[in-house]
Amino acid sequence: MSNQVEEQLKGLPAKPGVYLFRDEKGHVLYIGKAKSLRPRVRSYFQATPDSRSTIQRLPERVVDVEVIVTDTEAEALHLEQNLVKRHRPPFNVRLRDDKSFPYIAVTVEDDYPRVMFTRERHRRGVVYFGPYANAKKVRETLDVLNRVFPYRPCEGPQPGRHSGIPCLDYHIERCLAPCVGYVSKENYAKIIDGVIEFLSGETRPILRQLERKMKEAADGERFEEAARYRNRLFSVRHLAERQAADKRAVGTIDVIGISVEGDRAAVQVFPLRDGRLIDRYGFHLENAAGQDTASLLEVFCVEYYGSAPSVPPQIIVPPDTGDTSALEEFLSERRGSRVEVRAPMRGEKRRLQELATENARVALESDALQAERRRLRRVEALEELREALNLESLPLRIECYDVSNIQGEAVVGSMVVFQDAVAKKAHYRKFGVRSLDGQDDYAALGEVISRRFARLGDATSEEYDESFAATPNLVVIDGGKGQLAAALQAMQAYDLPRVAVISLAKRIEEVFVPGRPEPILLARDSAGLQLLQRVRDEAHRFAVGFHRQRRDAKARESIFDTLPGVGPARRRALLNHFGSAERFLAATQEELEGVPGIPERTARSIYAQLHKAGRA
């Protein structure tokens, strides 16, 4: 324990609150909440530490303890939820879905945020609403939302129209055309605020605003505009009434079952609406070792209901869940009315709870069996490769390289890593090839390999990279003999430890090995070949994806991006003034000088650049 932590432990208050453990780099390792901070935080650093296997490794890495005092335990629960979402600490219990459920996502950190259907829920800078019972309900909700709030439907972090002319969605009033500067960021942000407000259940302000605008349009005899507001008003009322009906329904409860085995836990949720079981949701909790049912229930409910669009008035839980008052307070605030967390001892609800618990147990056993099958298959694959390639040891770390380009344009390379036969995406790396002026796949591959192995074992550099510092057991090249030779030539420039290198050709899946004239042909159904195929295909996918990003970014560069003194604001001014890129390109110097917000000197430079390029 560091001296700093020792001093921090002495001054801990005996009050409710949240605690954060940080490592030497300032990264948050673990976040927890406590009814009394002093005994709870100190318990991690005592001679008999927390029994959880993951938590036992925690104290030795902690160099800083931060506490935030709250008035109540329920407030601490709220704060813990928000901080865990923000920091995603590696030692906290994590929720993993059995299957992907539909959500509505709002990309709030984009300049012009999107509102979209998704089945993922892990990206930073995105606000999620859900999960919903089915995808149809999500798409219906999005359709209504887009009629009421004309947010952009195009994909990507930036609006996607670059011709200077708005798309069809603008003309049917489904978008305000931020791509051509027809709406400011501030006004677009108000639209997104309305979407978030509605999805959060705050519909009254929206209804009042639509009613006011409808009345103003009618009073001004703008009857078509009034009709549009009337239709939007009806749509919002319909959605709001449907949501309210869900909340009022008799027999609206969630039944939760939990099963724990070692460091694994499974949760099953049975949602009942109008007394009918409408679905079954399954989840797995990671980092759950040593935690009791009450702790796991609290963690699950905070994360699950913290992002749900609604909370049922009653939640049925297992009998050994202890004091749930703080959880009830948290859920009641989320719902806007009282939520009861009950552990029935008899009757139909008790039967349903036992059924949910049994399903959780079955799910946990099934997950364990599948995990064991996958583990055995991975071991089999690694053993096959060791024997077939005559390796000294199992290829526990496999790196695969590929390059991608179209006729020498946007040449890129990829490096993917499989650790213990499982993709380790945190160690994937991308390379923008710098040295080529044209198409030469061998030279491109050589540059990628050189740049990667120049960083091998470089633990002292300020640019230390954990992936580059690791030594692979096996290097796989996507290609044939030529690609293999290029990779070997690049690697010979470095004093490398013994690293096996092969290439895998796509045509008939030939494995080329240095010094061997004939390729190795593995059985099509062999676990070893299938692992090599997965590694090769992943490297290809990663390279092609990066190439498309680079190519699309270059394609999106309009003529405005290459003009002197023209940034985003002046680009919008030019587009707003001329209406299209074609009219802008045909403009005279006098017309350019007459654009509001464009200095005469800049206008002359623009005209000279266009004329020089032969565009005017």
The pLDDT value recorded for residue 266 is 92
**The model scores a pTM over 0.75:** no
Q: Quick check: 136 pLDDT over 80?
A: no
From 41, 69, 92, the end of a domain falls on: 92
Q: Which of 145, 157, 161 is nearest to 200 (CA)?
A: 145
575: CATH: 1.10.150.20
The pair of structure tokens assigned to 181 is 């500067």
Which range has the worst mean pLDDT, 48-52, 98-102, 253-257, 577-581? 48-52
**Alpha-carbon torsion (273, 276, 278, 279), positive or negative:** positive
b/e map 133-145, b = 16+ CB within 10 Å: beeeebeebbebb
Place of tokens 């364990």: 368
Which range has the worst mean pLDDT, 47-56, 386-395, 490-499, 504-513? 47-56
389 C-beta neighbours (distance < 10 Å), count: 18
Structural domain boundaries, residue 448: 397-545
52: CATH: 3.40.1440.10
Specify whether the CB–CB gap between 230 and 238 falls below 8 A.
no
Cis bond before residue 113 (omega within 30° of 0): no
Which range has the worst mean pLDDT, 187-191, 241-245, 371-375, 404-408? 241-245
Q: Are 539 and 410 in the same domain?
A: yes
Over 279-304, what HEC string results? CCEEEEEECCCCCCHHHHHHHHHHHH
Domain count, the chain: 4
528: CATH: 3.30.420.340
Q: Residue 505 half-sphere exposure, CB side, CA atoms within 13 Å?
A: 15
Q: Quick check: 466 pLDDT over 80?
A: yes
**Residue 267 within any structural domain of the chain:** yes
From 71, 92, 113, the end of a domain falls on: 92
Distance of CA 53 to the CA centre of its chain: 27
**Residue 16 within any structural domain of the chain:** yes
Q: Quick check: 36 pLDDT over 80?
A: yes
The helix-helix angle for 185-199 and 204-219 (nearest 10°) equals 130
In tens, the pLDDT along 320-374 reads 888 889 999 999 988 889 999 999 988 888 988 998 999 898 888 888 888 888 8
The pair of structure tokens assigned to 23 is 């490592």
Q: Give the separation between CA 204 and CA 615, rounded to whole angstroms.
A: 53
What mean pLDDT comes out for the span 162-166?
A: 66
Q: Quick check: 276 pLDDT over 50?
A: yes
Place of tokens 């991308």: 430
The helix-helix angle for 481-491 and 441-453 (nearest 10°) equals 40
Q: Are 536 and 595 in the same domain?
A: no
The pair of structure tokens assigned to 357 is 């618990």
Q: How far is CA 493 from CA 400, 414, 487, 500, 545, in A?
A: 19, 20, 11, 16, 30
**Residue 200 within any structural domain of the chain:** no
**Residue 340 within any structural domain of the chain:** yes
Question: Following DSSP, what letter does each residue of 571-591 receive, concatenated?
Answer: HHHHHHHHSSHHHHHT--HHH
537 C-beta neighbours (distance < 10 Å), count: 16
Q: Give the separation between CA 370 and CA 494, rounded to whole angstroms.
A: 42
The pair of structure tokens assigned to 71 is 């008035």
Q: Where are the beta strands (DSSP E) in 343-407?
A: 397-406
Whole-number percent of the chain with pLDDT over 70: 88
The pair of structure tokens assigned to 565 is 């003194």
